[in-house]
Amino acid sequence: MKNMIRKYLKTIILCTIGANMSTSSTVDVSATSKQINEESYRTVTETFDWGPAITKIIIYLGATVSKDSITNETFKIRVIRTENRIESPILGEAEGECKIIKAYVSDNDGNVQFKGKYVTLELEVGPDVSLTSPINYDLTTNLNGWVNCDFTIKQNNDIVTDSGKISGLVINKFAGGTKKLVDDFKIGSATYDNITIKYVSYTPENDYSKKPLIIWLHGIGEGGTDGLLPISGNKAVNFASKDIQVYFNGAYILVPQAPTFWMDGFNGFGDGSSKYEKALMSLIKDYVSKNSNIDTNRIYIGGDSNGGYMTMLMIRDYADYFAAAFPTCEALKDTLITDKDIEAFKKVPIWFTAAKTDTTVPPADYVVPTYDRLVQAGDTNVHFSFFDNVIDTTGLYKKADNTPYEYNGHWSWIYVYNNQCSSIINGKVTTLMEWLSDQQLNKETKSQTGMRPITVSQTITISQN
């Protein structure tokens, strides 16, 4: 299976999250121009279904300009991407000119202004645009990592101000950056039995009521020691968005990072064990003990692929601790699951997600037979969103024939992050997050009638609108 994952990951082209370093700027101002001494740029990074992208460059000009003085052609931007890991070649474009799709006078945060000392340049981003997407995958280690993105912004056209004309700016001094939602998380670290686990956590607004805890376990490419990759490598950061938080009236989020892979077992890769399991459980219990506002009856755990594998291990071995689980494209092979394990899984409400086009973790060998066995064993609160494929549902990205852009079939986590999994429960269409927010320990949750075993050719739910 590791070879399958490696083969799949060779197709990923990602880039850095704004760890950009620039050192100088050059200004060539005409005789009537106002001299500017501290020109610099800042970046804004956002995380999309396919991963992170640098969406905006905010330039500090040092002189006040009006909105009519800036057009999409006023500046051009070039970026050079370099790896911090010497042996890791850049996948995708290593350097090139970024396409500017919008330019306007703004404030320091990139908000449109009639007049101001800042200009914001919005960049083209997309699942196939590598210059603005900020992580690089190492084919040797099977891990993503940040790269340096050095931007140079050159002025093409004069900018007329009340006090003169600005010409010939060359800006390459980096003044920092922001990462939407990611900046709302805190990085932490804990060590248990000589195993150190980095993690990020999100704390909801305190209204003096108990809040649930959502634990998310990352996929194979996001292991390491930086802490941020598990929420930045793909859209896991969205659990902190208002769209998701509203279902829980605010929820704590805990996203641990395996030093390598959750699937590193004691006897082999993906052998049904994990050398990080005890340390992970210790971290979870410590985090809960230090946050007394967490409702211990509503601790939920989920993860994708490698993290889905670990989710299955955690609910197998700590079935009485978790109120519900939502493993996605989970990588615990069904042949490693005993009948005793099935009885443990039955104690935990579970919502599986996968896609039929997943060739990395083929559903026929993993989730489908496991789901079937749970249904046959009489599980009354197990659900399965089984998609035909994984497509763009934003309407922004299309294939050549104008049909929705199609992602790798392994990427079914996209539907989870966007709460696009749904099922008929007690006669009502219910989304994954609605269902999850309703789960509690020791609560009677018999829900879906008429559940039946399935085959790979069948689809339980399709939510691609």
Q: How confident is the model at residue 445 (pLDDT cuts 50, 70, 90)?
A: low
Q: Please identify, in words, the CATH class of the domain defined by 2-179.
A: mainly beta
Residues 263 and 220: beta-carbon distance below 8 Å: yes
- How many other CB atoms are found less than 10 A from the CB of residue 19? 18
The residue ranges of every structural domain in the chain are 2-179, 182-437
Interatomic CA distance for residues 352 and 362, integer angstroms: 14
- Quote the pLDDT of residue 139: 83
Owner of token pair 């981003």: 125
Interatomic CA distance for residues 131 and 158, integer angstroms: 27
Interatomic CA distance for residues 430 and 426, integer angstroms: 9
The closest alpha carbon to 227, from 259, 195, 253, belongs to 259
The closest alpha carbon to 397, from 407, 388, 389, belongs to 407
- Quote the pLDDT of residue 10: 41
Q: Decide which of 19 and 390 is more confident.
A: 390
Of 297-301, 392-396, 427-431, 444-448, the range with the lowest mean pLDDT is 444-448
Cα 410 to chain center, whole Å?
Answer: 14
Coil, strand, or helix at residue 333? coil
pLDDT above 90 coverage of the chain, percent: 79
Q: How confident is the model at residue 87 (pLDDT cuts 50, 70, 90)?
A: confident
Q: How confident is the model at residue 170 (pLDDT cuts 50, 70, 90)?
A: very high
Q: How confident is the model at residue 12 (pLDDT cuts 50, 70, 90)?
A: very low
Coil, strand, or helix at residue 242? helix
- Quote the pLDDT of residue 19: 32
pTM: 0.89
Residues 133 and 53: beta-carbon distance below 8 Å: yes
Name the burial class of residue 163, with classes exposed (0-12), middle (13-18) and buried (19+) by CB atoms within 10 angstroms of its CB.
exposed
Q: What is the pLDDT of residues 139-160, one digit of tens each?
A: 888 889 999 999 999 999 999 8
Taking all residues of the chain, what is their mean pLDDT, rounded to a whole number?
Answer: 88
Both tokens assigned to 225 = 């020691």
User: What CATH number is given for 182-437 in this structure?
Assistant: 3.40.50.1820
